[in-house]
Structure 1
Amino acid sequence: MNIKLRPWQIEAHQKALKWLVQDRADRHFLINAAPGAGKTLAACAIAKTLLDKQEVNRVIVIAPRTQVVTQWAEDFTRVTGRHMGKVTARDGEIQGLGMDVCATWSAIQGLLPELQAVCRTAKVLVICDEHHHAAVQAAWGDGAGDAFLDSKFVLVLTGTPIRSDGSESVWLAYDDNGAISHPEEGTYTLNYGEAVDLGYCRPITFHKHQGRFTVDLDGEQIKISGDQDTQIPKNLARIPGLQTALDFYKLAKTPQFIPGTSEPLMTGYQASMVEAGIEKLNQLRYTMPEAGGLVIAPNIEIAEFMADLLEKLDGEKPIVVHSQLANAEDKIKQFKNTNRKWLVSVAMVAEGVDIKRLRVLIYLPNALTELAFRQAMGRVVRTASYEDFSRAYVVMPAFKTFEKYAKRVEEEMSPAQRLDSGAPKEKVCPECNEFNPLGAKICSCGHEFPSGPEVLKVKKCLSCGSLNPASADRCHACGNLFSSDFSLSLDEALRVGAIVRGIELDEEETRDSESIAPNMRSLILKSGDQNLIKFIKSFPEESWSRLGKFYEESKRS
């Protein structure tokens, strides 16, 4: 099937073929393109040409997650016409499948002998998606390096090439500053700003959600904000865990309930974040009726809390996905193929997951790395298949770490792309795509617009009296900062552990653990060992990856 490629994809295709086939300069080619720009289709097109030229007769793709494996298999078949098998766990049948295969990174270790045998008996193209997962001296990196040592070509794809822990990844060289130093002739680069200017990605606006927390400590009130250090009185500093508990981002992730109930507090910080996201999505749906919103939550408890807030504030029950759901992948597909408004995720909708109608992100993650930040924003900047003039939005807590990342993204964008056109003046009919006044009840084609508030919410600046959109964080006229105070008791501040019982885990550890935990739990329960069973009941599943690293280090020492 003929697929129309974007100009950058054609350029990357031509450059890859020259490097790999014509010049035979090296077997590795790197595509470093912004999340959402279309790396998957570019790679599939390169694979098709190599197959047609009989340079390779087998393609193996490594992808980060089960959902992405499914997407790869579908896109690969659409471009090449060849069936692609999917492997997300050890089955020992990969050599005998007689087909192209896409496997998760976590499956590489278990399939090492089979993958190695395939590469020694066939002309294999390896496509390495989200290359930052393959750290040298880490389990996944070691596995990939060994399994594909004899492959003919390796196509490396990344949108965030520098790992958050500074580790180097397999197959590519690095300079003294930790940056990839693969030859320019063997690399195609497209940064986010370029992708926006060319129309491949949507421009993005970051709503830095303001808020100040006041925590009552035995009658003494402590003020916490995202842009200032917290001052704790000396007589209270002795309270165990207090410094951690009074971290601004920790409080931003602490669910606030109506006192004495399990009902979410509708005037709390998270509720105000959700309100800002709802307002922005409602505005977007005037001109992009199918636009959807994504909430990235740090854990299941907060995901369910945010979903409850969304249902109460917006009237529609969102779809929630996390690793404990057996049908999470089906739920993601359901959201992708419907007009539902909100999807709430815990480490399920991140790198590589392609839902083109997502435009608003409420960002409250576990990981605080720039890699995770850019991957998350990549979920809402994908340009839709039709003429798309929409803008993407991120609602995030206003504190230094996220603001630093957002500023770097904004600096990549041209000045014209940084400007937000503001509230819509018209709305689009989802049936005929005709523009109508915001107050129109019926389109000329006969479509009846759903009833709802046609007047956008505003708030008045107390300094100058100017009216501003309700979601604005500063007055457009005088620059006055809008910020609300949110009160918490000491018990509420201490209720949730720092991250996982005081242990701060990065993005990769969390995801590794989620893939390991179900199998580990099943194996231990089957063993009947009561000591181990007692252990797993008290051991946080997010820490399995770290425990595994300690085990690997002990074997090497």
Structure 2
Amino acid sequence: MKLRYWQTDCINLALDKYIGGKKHFLALATPGAGKTFMASVLADRMIKRDLADIVICFSPSSVVCVDFSQTLESVIGEKFDGLLGSKGQSLTYQSLLHLDTDFWMLFKKYRIFVIFDEVHHCSGSKIENANAWGEQIILNIQDSAEFTLALTGTPWRSDTAPIVLSHYLSRTNKIQCDYVYGLSEAIRDGVCRTPQIIAIDNDDISLTSDNESKSFNCFKDLLTQSAFPYQEIIQNEQLLFHVIKQANDKLDKIRLSNPSAGGLIVAASVEHATQILDLLAERFNEAATIITYREDEPTKLIHQYKQSSSKWVVSVGMISEGTNIPRLQVTCHLTRIKTEMHFRQIMGRNLRATDAINQEAFLYMPAEPKLVEYAYRVAQDIPDEADVVKFEIMNANFKAKQDTDGSGQEVKAECSPNEIINTKKDKLYFNEFKDNLELQTTPTNKNNPLTNTYESMMNIFGRFKQETLELGLTPLE
């Protein structure tokens, strides 16, 4: 595989820094740019230039771990299974908590080049403010590794903790990256596709609470001016039908020229994923792969989907950052997690450019205010691209009832009998959908208040405080 310009540039800069005495190198590259291949080629050159004896790679998931191992083996031509005679090993960050003394002794006997993929998962500038993974890195790797390469596509955390092994400018608190390759540059170079984000909204919403009726003309007003939960919106079957219909129609059009193009639906929970799977089968006659932590071999399922030409995959937390499925071109954001880091990682799943004829990439989501804000920030990152963010208005009345008592809040739906959908949780209802949908293009304006406070990927906040409205963690059953 031929190196892209940015990959060559980054490798040369890293080698110069290492030879010049710098031990740690942080590379920021937009999701889908090809960080894994770049890091593997750099590792190969480190070995061939006699700068390192062994390569150890850490990544956030078993899926990414396997991909990294395969790429390292392909590029270097050596085994990376950690066994006798191999040139190293690819491990998950979770394994840091279980490595024994014999493993850490390797750092005293050999010159080890360590790769940290999606390093933002590991926090801490010192033991006192480190998370579990960051603590192990500080204790066992920071001063013992010959050289380290840290990779990230979203260089901030959802808390205020610093990223491990990183440096911050004292006056601005911005993270100091050794190399930056943003989305705008990646689109310019044909490395990434241009994202098209469709925010689905409703301008006819009625909420009844304690005999008082209120009207709202968008989901933003409903969510910010009432106690109505976002979870009820993404679980409503009529909304799911609308979002998936638009996404499915778009994917069908793309598959006319790219028969293997795929779609990803990111669900909020296993129960939610099952609801979506049933909806795809019953309303669209579409089969789909479901991948959650409850599957026996989720990593195997991901690789099977990656190599197939099947249409849809529904996932709960299993296909996110670093997961490489280039044929994905349509994504539905239907999870409760509403952090910017998670939003960008989901969006990045379908941005990797391929040799296929059609290079469109679509993200469909409800017009939840935080998600819309993140979408505008993406548009601000790529000012040369038009119509990145669009609003689709559903021509249907949204009716909900919210009763409160001393013990809490209960959300109920009001609808006529012929509108009732037979699901276990019939709480929200829409009137019958009309086929005519109003599609509104929202121009990217530099004076837009949603983008004025954002600094583009070339000027990232290191300790960026990201407001998390709901983490959406589902208890194990």
TM-score, length basis structure 1: 0.69
Give the corresponding residue for 2:180.
189
Counterpart mapping for 1:144-293 below 5 A: 144-148=137-141, 149-176=143-170, 177-182=172-177, 187-211=178-202, 213-217=205-209, 220-223=212-215, 225-228=218-221, 244=227, 246-247=228-229, 249-256=230-237, 268-293=238-263
Q: Give the AA of the match of 1:393.
A: F
Equivalent position to 2:270, from 267, 284, 300:
300
SS of the aligned residue for 2:235 comes to coil
8 Å contact kept, 1:296–1:362: yes
- Alignment pair present for 1:14 and 2:12: yes
Deviations 1:225-280 (A, max 9, x none): 32215698xxxxxxxxxx64x13x23222344xxxxxxxxxxx1111111111111
Partners of 2:215 and 2:85 lie apart in 1 by 62
Deviations 1:148-181 (A, max 9, x none): 1301000010000011212101111123544212
Q: Give the AA of the match of 2:153.
A: G
Cα 1:191–1:388 shift into 2, 3 Å: farther
SS of the aligned residue for 1:71 comes to helix
* Superposed displacement of residue 308, structure 1: 1.4
8 Å contact kept, 2:254–2:358: no
Cα 1:214–1:318 shift into 2, 3 Å: farther
Cα 1:70–1:175 shift into 2, 3 Å: same
* Superposed displacement of residue 307, structure 1: 1.4
Ranges in structure 1 where 5+ consecutive residues have no aligned partner:
86-93, 233-242, 257-267, 421-471, 475-480, 498-502, 515-539, 543-557
Counterpart mapping for 1:300-379 below 5 A: 300-379=270-349
* Superposed displacement of residue 191, structure 1: 0.6
Equivalent position to 1:418, from 386, 389, 406:
386
Partners of 1:346 and 1:227 lie apart in 2 by 25
8 Å contact kept, 1:210–1:483: no
Partners of 1:213 and 1:113 lie apart in 2 by 61
8 Å contact kept, 2:262–2:328: yes
- Alignment pair present for 1:141 and 2:139: no
Cα 1:113–1:388 shift into 2, 3 Å: farther
Range moving further from structure 2, 26-35 or 324-333? 324-333
Cα 1:505–1:405 shift into 2, 3 Å: closer
Give the corresponding residue for 1:105.
93
Q: Give the AA of the match of 1:418.
A: A
8 Å contact kept, 2:258–2:356: no
Deviations 1:440-466 (A, max 9, x none): xxxxxxxxxxxxxxxxxxxxxxxxxxx
Partners of 2:348 and 2:338 lie apart in 1 by 16
* Superposed displacement of residue 316, structure 1: 1.9
Partners of 2:394 and 2:319 lie apart in 1 by 31
8 Å contact kept, 1:58–1:123: yes
Cα 1:178–1:297 shift into 2, 3 Å: farther
**Alignment root-mean-square deviation, CA:** 2.7
Cα 1:277–1:9 shift into 2, 3 Å: same
Partners of 1:483 and 1:103 lie apart in 2 by 50
Give the corresponding residue for 2:107.
119
Q: Give the AA of the match of 1:76.
A: L
Q: Give the AA of the match of 1:105.
A: Y
Partners of 1:36 and 1:229 lie apart in 2 by 35
Partners of 1:99 and 1:229 lie apart in 2 by 56
* Superposed displacement of residue 323, structure 1: 0.5
Give the corresponding residue for 1:57.
53
- Alignment pair present for 1:391 and 2:378: no
SS of the aligned residue for 2:302 comes to helix
8 Å contact kept, 1:361–1:393: yes
Give the corresponding residue for 1:84.
80
Partners of 2:36 and 2:211 lie apart in 1 by 57
Equivalent position to 1:485, from 382, 392, 397:
397
Partners of 1:370 and 1:298 lie apart in 2 by 16
8 Å contact kept, 1:95–1:118: no
Give the corresponding residue for 1:545.
none
Deviations 1:168-209 (A, max 9, x none): 011111235442125xxxx11111111111100000111001
SS of the aligned residue for 2:32 comes to coil
Partners of 2:308 and 2:117 lie apart in 1 by 27
Identity of aligned residues (%): 27
Equivalent position to 1:38, from 34, 37, 46:
34
Deviations 1:316-366 (A, max 9, x none): 211000011112112111211111110000000000000000000100123
Count of residue correspondences:
410
Q: Highest relative contact order (Cα 8 Å, sep 6+), 1 or 2? A: 2
* Superposed displacement of residue 105, structure 1: 0.8
Give the corresponding residue for 2:451.
none
Q: Give the AA of the match of 1:253.
A: I
Range moving further from structure 2, 335-344 or 481-490? 481-490
SS of the aligned residue for 2:219 comes to coil
Cα 1:231–1:57 shift into 2, 3 Å: closer
Partners of 2:39 and 2:118 lie apart in 1 by 12
8 Å contact kept, 1:61–1:101: yes
Q: Give the AA of the match of 1:140.
A: W
SS of the aligned residue for 1:155 comes to strand
Counterpart mapping for 1:457-536 below 5 A: 473=391, 481-490=393-402, 493=412, 506=471
8 Å contact kept, 1:251–1:493: no
Give the corresponding residue for 2:420.
none
- Alignment pair present for 1:130 and 2:99: no
Deviations 1:126-163 (A, max 9, x none): 00000101111111110122221301000010000011
Partners of 1:269 and 1:188 lie apart in 2 by 42
Partners of 1:70 and 1:158 lie apart in 2 by 18
